[in-house]
Amino acid sequence: MQSADFLTITDLWIERGERVLCKELSFSVQSGEVIRILGENGAGKSSLLKALLGTVLIDEGSILYLGEDITADRSNLHKDTLYIGHSVGLKKALTVRENLALYCPDVSIEGYQPILEELGLAPFLDMPVNKLSQGQARRTALSRLWLTQKSLWILDEPFSALDDQACLLLEKKIEQHSLAGGVVLLTTHIPLSSIQPRELEFAV
């Protein structure tokens, strides 16, 4: 028996304000795929990611997750998804350690010391996020990719504010996730150097 697509998007129609962002958009995603959503500023890439998550309403169309229709109820998708959006989504008054404890309650931070060292976060664990640079805050948000186990990563501009070393580290992590059968949907305006995602042009 043929296994179901990881995601099947059919005839998606999204309007925001006065604009139609997409009409009858259909595509499917298989396990292990990395998909880069392409499009100019304002094309609707972030809106599409949010529509998949259910935080932007879709006007028409359907979304299947592993063969199950989740258009009306995304809870099964949410259980398996890690979303990191444009804003880093951290509690700014809390320290890096406190944020990680909040978002990754099941892990012992000490067990992840090597990756926190590699991400350059170890010296800042007890610093409030509002005292970090943008790149350090982005690294903190992205460390959840190492600290949690979710099959679907939805990453909106994950490379922004990162230096070359952190970009490479993130690309390597995305590649490992896909080799392990995970799925990554991402947007980025930054050229990628070591991974070649499937590209999905987003335009009306």
Ligand X SMILES: Nc1ncnc2c1ncn2[C@@H]1O[C@H](COP(=O)(O)OP(=O)(O)OP(=O)(O)O)[C@@H](O)[C@H]1O
Q: Cα(44)–Cα(155) distance, rounded to whole angstroms?
A: 14
> 168-200 as b/e, with b when 16 or more CB fall inside 10 Å?
ebbbebbbebbeeebbbbbbbeeebeeeebeeb
Closest distance between ligand X and the C-beta of residue 45, in Å?
A: 4
Is residue 43 part of the contact set for ligand X (CB under 6 A)? Answer: yes
Is residue 42 part of the contact set for ligand X (CB under 6 A)? Answer: yes
Pick from 135, 122, 196, 199: nearest CA to 167? 135
For ligand X, the closer CB: 39 or 197 = 39
Closest distance between ligand X and the C-beta of residue 56, in Å?
A: 8
Site for ligand X in 46-75 (CB under 6 A): 46-47
Q: Which residue has the tokens 């992590």?
A: 173
Site for ligand X in 147-176 (CB under 6 A): none
Q: Cα(112)–Cα(143) distance, rounded to whole angstroms?
A: 10
For ligand X, the closer CB: 14 or 116 = 14
Q: Cα(125)–Cα(82) distance, rounded to whole angstroms?
A: 22
For ligand X, the closer CB: 21 or 116 = 21
Burial of 115 (0-12, 13-18, 19+ CB in 10 A): middle
Q: How many residues bind ligand X (CB under 6 A)?
A: 12
CB 8 within 8 A of CB 63: yes
Candidate ranges 11-19, 25-33, 72-80, 130-138; the one touching ligand X (CB under 6 A)? 11-19
Is residue 16 part of the contact set for ligand X (CB under 6 A)? Answer: yes
Binds ligand X by CB under 6 A, chosen from 7, 9, 12, 21: 21
Q: Helix, strand, coil proportions of the chain in percent (round to 5)?
A: 35, 25, 40
Binds ligand X by CB under 6 A, chosen from 41, 75, 193, 196: 41
For ligand X, the closer CB: 126 or 201 = 201
Which stretches of the chain bind ligand X, using CB under 6 A?
16-17, 19, 21, 39, 41-47
